Amino acid sequence: METISARSGEPPGQTDSIPKRPRILIVDDDRSLREFLEILLAKDGYKVVSATDGRHALEILAAERISLVLSDIRMPGMDGVTLLKEIKREKPSLPVILITAFASLDTAVAAMREGAWDYITKPFRIDELRKVVQKALDNRSPLSLDECTEKEKVHRLDAMVARSPAMLKIFHLIPRIASSPSSVLISGESGTGKELVARAIHNSGCRRDRPFVVVNCGGIPDQLLESELFGYRKGAFTGAERDKTGLFTKANGGSIFLDEIGELPLTLQVKLLRIVQQKTFTPLGGTQEIDVDARIIAATNRDLEEEVMAGRFREDLFYRLNVIHISVPALRERPEDIPLLVQYFLDRFAAKSGKEVQAISSFALEALLSYTFPGNVRELENIIERSVALSSSSLILPESLSLARFKTQAESAKGPAIPAPDIPPEGLDLETYLADMEKDLLLKALERTGGSKNEAAALLGLNFRSFRYRLAKHGL
């Protein structure tokens, strides 16, 4: 991605400039329902156009910029599912919501596998319709938007995308410090993207055309780390048959990123301190000092102030490295970035695998938004990569997320997990077993709550829409 320079008066990063009022296309042969939806959505501030059938809808889509399609499934001529397939062929990122009678719910669920964003059943509640429409507009493909509101602006900086205030503060800071020679300390939990921040600093500054050298201080054995960082002279130790250039020398004129600096042994902290202070070092077995001009960017998932107090990290080195401090927030602290990152990873892995996976269903996205992500952005990336590999349609569905492996916030609050039953000697079909177990729990929850779906959903730690999806999946 391109590096974006700061703009006056707003955080740096490219934003998608587009009309402020999304345009919704309603497709329905029922005149009374069509007119009701036109009045309702226009009252909510949307621009509304309508079509009486699928063919008419395609003509409108070819001529106008549309943000969302709201279509009935049962229509004469071209039905809603056929219309959906045509739309996804021409405009894969355009969200389509289907309206269906409960009797044709199976068709609606199947349509989601063809790329429908969501569906609502007749008769529907107005507040439910509004929520589904708003969520579809809020979570359109964020990296290929045709339009969005000012509130929905997507900011990009180097290889990062965000819209959360916490990340935009970092986006605003990076261009201001990029060309400074001062050391930078980046803190944050594992998987938050500290290396991406470091690369953005390097790529945004005057050293962008010089080397960017990455060192994993926790991934190299202590006895090898010194020779890797500073190099050695021939004969410095047994096996040193020739001179070796260290990573600091390779980073000369550019930047060196010391990842997990808290893992650096105290003996090497002394030598690193000299480089920070004097810009010189001596290779192993050498007698002459070497001058080096490398901008030091360090990162840690530890609290280095606590490490200093415990005597595991030098206080003088800490203050030398912590000239400029950037704290990268955990993903659970910026949930508004999750839809952006999901689509970003979805586009990348779909292209890499050659699969036509284009979007994520609202049910699957809700599951991700309720998850705490202890592994942060790296974990989300792995989840989406696995989901693309497992998906058999153009839409990521909840079952593709392998959510049984993860605990949501609601699940975490319910105490210890129920122990798994023993596997019978003859083995079992796991998919069938889990499906039967889920169906049985759904029925028991409904029985206990007297048929109340809202109460049954709460009893199982699900939101109503996710509960309804599972009912439809099992034909209940």
Q: What is the pLDDT of residues 62-105, one digit of tens each?
A: 888 899 999 988 888 888 888 888 888 888 778 888 887 754 55
Topology (CATH level 3) of domain 424-476: Arc Repressor Mutant, subunit A (1.10.10)
- Between residues 46 and 405, which one has the greater pLDDT? 46
pLDDT-derived band at 410 (thresholds 50, 70, 90) equals very low
Q: In this structure, which amino acid lies at residue 370?
A: S
Of 277, 203, 284, 280, the closest CA to residue 237 belongs to 284
pLDDT-derived band at 299 (thresholds 50, 70, 90) equals very high
Whether residue 171 is predicted with pLDDT greater than 60 in this model: the reply is yes
Alpha helices by DSSP H, 145-218 = 165-177, 194-204
Q: Rounded mean pLDDT of 463-474?
A: 73
Whether residue 189 is predicted with pLDDT greater than 80 in this model: the reply is yes
pLDDT-derived band at 17 (thresholds 50, 70, 90) equals very low
Q: What is the pLDDT of residues 339-392, one digit of tens each?
A: 889 988 988 898 888 887 777 877 788 888 888 888 899 999 999 998 888 877
Q: In this structure, which amino acid lies at residue 298?
A: A
- Between residues 414 and 146, which one has the greater pLDDT? 414
Whether residue 444 is predicted with pLDDT greater than 60 in this model: the reply is yes
pLDDT, mean over the chain: 81
Whether residue 153 is predicted with pLDDT greater than 80 in this model: the reply is no
User: Chain centroid to CA 12: how far?
Assistant: 20
Whether residue 54 is predicted with pLDDT greater than 80 in this model: the reply is yes
The domain segmentation of the chain, as residue ranges, is: 23-138, 178-327, 336-411, 424-476
Taking the C-alpha atoms of residue 14 and residue 298, their distance in angstroms, rounded to an integer, is: 27
Residue 144, pLDDT score:
39
- Between residues 137 and 254, which one has the greater pLDDT? 254
Matching fold, domains 23-138 and 336-411: no
Whether residue 6 is predicted with pLDDT greater than 70 in this model: the reply is no
Q: Considering the entire predicted model, what is its pTM? A: 0.60
Whether residue 5 is predicted with pLDDT greater than 60 in this model: the reply is no
Residue 105, pLDDT score:
55
Q: The CATH number of 178-327 is which of 3.40.50.300, 3.40.50.410, 1.10.10.10, 3.40.50.970?
A: 3.40.50.300
On the 0-12 / 13-18 / 19+ scale of CB atoms within 10 A, 238 is: exposed
Residue 298, pLDDT score:
95
In this structure, CATH architecture of domain 23-138: 3-Layer(aba) Sandwich (3.40)
Taking the C-alpha atoms of residue 309 and residue 185, their distance in angstroms, rounded to an integer, is: 18
Q: Which residues make Cβ contacts (< 8 Å) with residue 473, sequence separation at least 6? A: 109
In this structure, CATH architecture of domain 336-411: Orthogonal Bundle (1.10)
Least reliable range by pLDDT among 130-144, 175-189, 427-441, 461-475: 130-144
Q: What is the pLDDT of residues 237-281, one digit of tens each?
A: 777 778 888 888 999 999 999 999 998 989 889 889 989 988 888
Whether residue 12 is predicted with pLDDT greater than 50 in this model: the reply is no
